[in-house]
Homo-oligomer: A and B are copies of this chain.
Amino acid sequence: MASAPTEQLDRVFAALADPTRRAILARLSDGEATVNELVAPFGLSQPTISKHLKVLEHAGLVSRGREAQFRPVRLNAAPLAEVAQWLGDYRRFWAESLDRLDDYVQELKRKETRHARKRKRR
């Protein structure tokens, strides 16, 4: 897979930096929806939802159907694959952090065992 252009990643990350937009994506992961169907559960105005949809569409995260009246909104996950690819380079770092956490827990356990042995001897 070719890596995403910088501006495309900027748009995708910016689009994901909002809880309503992430909730819209979560809703669309259950299937396409009309704008009206998206307005109902969020308790937000239709223009507000439409504005969020424009940001998501500009980032390529959703696309709209061509059926003139309803234009259902669909999830487009390809930009998320680009985010995953970008993240890939950093995977070793959090693996390392987990290893360090594991070492720390093992060290705590060893200390606890030594402590318990001392208590027994008393």
Chain A positions near chain B (C-beta within 8 angstroms):
6, 9-11, 13-14, 16-19, 22, 25-26, 29, 75-78, 80-81, 83-84, 86-87, 89-91, 93-94, 96-98
Instruction: Return chain B residues, CB-CB under 8 Å to A84.
Output: 84, 87, 91, 94
Interface residues of chain A: helix, strand, loop or mixed (majority): helix
How many chain copies does the complex carry?
2
Q: Could you tell me the distance between the alpha carbons of A63 and B25 in the complex, rounded to whole angstroms?
A: 31
The answer to whether A97 and B81 touch (CB under 8 A), given A14-B14, A17-B13, A19-B10, is yes
Contacts of A19 in B (CB 8 A): 6, 9-10
For A91, list chain B residues within 8 Å (CB): 84
